Structure formats: C-alpha cells, structure tokens
Amino acid sequence: MKFILLTLVFILSLQAEKILLINSNSNVEKYREVVKSFGEDFKQEFKTIDISNMRQDEIKEYLYDEYPDIVYAVGNKAYQYAHKYLPEKKIFFSSIVNWERLPLQGERFGISNELHTGIQLTLITSYFKEIKTISVIYSTYTADLAQGFKENSEQMGINIVAHKIEDTESTDFDSLIKSSDAHIIIPDPVLLSNEEAIQQLFSASRKYKKPIFAYDDLFIPYGAVLISAVDNPTIGRQMALILKEHLSNKVTAKIHSPIGTHIIFNKKEAAHLGVDFDKHILSITTKTIE
C-alpha cells in the first residue's frame, strides 16, 4: 500500500504544471506589491525570478533551462521575454500599461492595467458635479480607449472631446485645455514619449484653471487633481484566483478588468485651481493630498 501511495504521489508530481513568476524589476514598488499579494494567496508551488539585472542571454538560458508550463509575467519586460523564448507556453500577465500593444499569439491571459472607462468617468462625476466637457488626447494606439470614454460618457451627460494626434509637436495644448472643463490623460505612447508635451499640458491646465485627471501616481508631481488607478495588491490576489481557476480547468476570460481601485485626490491642487468638489465623496478616497 505504501508503495502504491508513493507511486501515485510521484505520478501526480510529474503531471503538476510547473509555474514561473517573472518579475520585470523587484525594485519597482507596484511590481513588489503585486508579487507579494499573489504569493500570499496562491498556495501552489511556483518559482520567482527577477530579471532586472540579467542580460538577455542569461534570461534566455534560464527560461530554456527552467522551461515552465505556465508563466506569470509582471510588467512589460517580463512578458516580452516570456513571449519571445517560451511562445508555446501559457503566459499570464499584469501590470502592463496599454496591453493592447502586446503580441498576443498563443495562450495569453491577463489583467488590464487600466480601469474600465465607465468607472473612471463615474469617479470624476462623483467628485466634480460641474464638469460637463472632458478632453482626451489619443493616437492610433489608444483609439479603442478613447472610444470607450465616448461611449460611456453619453449615459452620464458628459461630452468627451477626443483629439487624435500623430505627434506632439503640432498639438495646440492651450486651445484643447481652454475649450473643455477638464482633461483626462490616458496611457498613450505618442503623448507620453514627450516629457515637454506633458509639461505643456499641465502648464495649460494651470493657466486656464482646468483640472487634469490621470491613471497613475506619477502624474501627481505634475499637478494632477485626481488619480484613479488599479490597486496593485488586489491585482496580485485577482491573478492568484485566475490561475487557480485555470488549474481547475475552469473557463476563464482572456483579458480581465481589474477589480480594485486606488484613488488619490490632490486637494491642494484642486484648491489652487479653484475647482469645486463634493466633500462627501472624500470618504472613498484612498489618499488625500492636503
């Protein structure tokens, strides 16, 4: 009987899928938070590798030697290497801005790093009752995201002024900001590739006393009034659940919307701009900057 039990354990160990978590950079706080909460909730055995200080040939050799059945890639760098060297494997991902630009051939599953546009607009209208027109800059890469804002805004009495750009040099930020009540920054690679353009956008915001809303804490030093972002620990727990369901042969969606929200309200900047806001809604704010 003991021999049979040992044999069964050995067979099951051979059948168990080998899981590898690849962290793009453990020095990045949002990645650390995701990895930590994932590890706390996911009880099955898995390995973790931080590739931030590894050369490309070292990463390649490690992935070929390890050759996992399932990869969880945290961050863009981790995903790109997993997709390149393990294209035939199942790859799960999170913490990647604008995931639509990823190569997604093969079995790929992920959690979007952007909140649903309807949720973002609901938060904005909850804080700022007087805002009726919001401008947004997009390019070919983020057309779907801009369209999402337009579609969801119609039900809320909000007018989205979507301005498509090919480059940032020919964009009149002053006119765009001046013609709307507020502006929302989306993770568009054309806009974000130009630091000077971001500075011009916020300069126009202060000039015309119009608030800017964004999707990441990084925009707070520039003067963003409201940040509505994914909650990183929740992302880790959500991915743990998705992987558990996958390993139990449950059908899972290819791309999941994040279920946790992290809200920062820059009360100091709102006061500087003279923007009225609903003080009762502050109770749902994760962090308020006085």
CATH of the domain at 81: 3.40.50.2300
Q: Which of 16, 11, 83 is nearest to 46 (CA)?
A: 16
Considering the domain architecture, whether residues 50 and 104 belong to the same structural domain is answered as yes
Tokens of 123: 């938060």
Instruction: For residue range 76-115, list pLDDT tens digits in order.
Output: 999 999 999 999 999 999 999 889 889 999 999 999 998 9
Q: Interior CA angle at 273 toward 270 and 274, to 5°?
A: 85
Residue numbers of the domain that contains 20: 2-113+232-259
d(CA 268, CA 225): 8
d(CA 216, CA 75): 15
Give percent of the chain with pLDDT exceeding 90.
82
Considering the domain architecture, whether residues 178 and 280 belong to the same structural domain is answered as yes
Considering the domain architecture, whether residues 130 and 223 belong to the same structural domain is answered as yes
Considering the domain architecture, whether residues 148 and 87 belong to the same structural domain is answered as no
pTM assigned to the model: 0.83
Residue 245 neighbours by CB under 8 Å, 6+ apart: 252
Q: Are 14 and 64 in contact (CB under 8 A)?
A: no
d(CA 78, CA 35): 13
**Residue 161 pLDDT greater than 80, yes or no:** yes
Tokens of 17: 């899928």
Considering the domain architecture, whether residues 165 and 279 belong to the same structural domain is answered as yes
Q: Which of 92, 101, 51, 97 is nearest to 73 (CA)?
A: 92
d(CA 97, CA 76): 8
Question: What was the pLDDT predicted at 8?
Answer: 46
Instruction: For residue range 237-281, list pLDDT tens digits in order.
Output: 999 999 999 999 987 789 999 998 999 999 999 999 999 999 888
Considering the domain architecture, whether residues 130 and 59 belong to the same structural domain is answered as no
Domain count, the chain: 2
Beta strands at 226-230 and 261-266: parallel, antiparallel or unpaired = antiparallel
Residue 99, CB half-sphere, CA atoms under 13 Å: how many?
24
Considering the domain architecture, whether residues 94 and 125 belong to the same structural domain is answered as no
Considering the domain architecture, whether residues 134 and 274 belong to the same structural domain is answered as yes
| Three-state DSSP state, 215 | coil
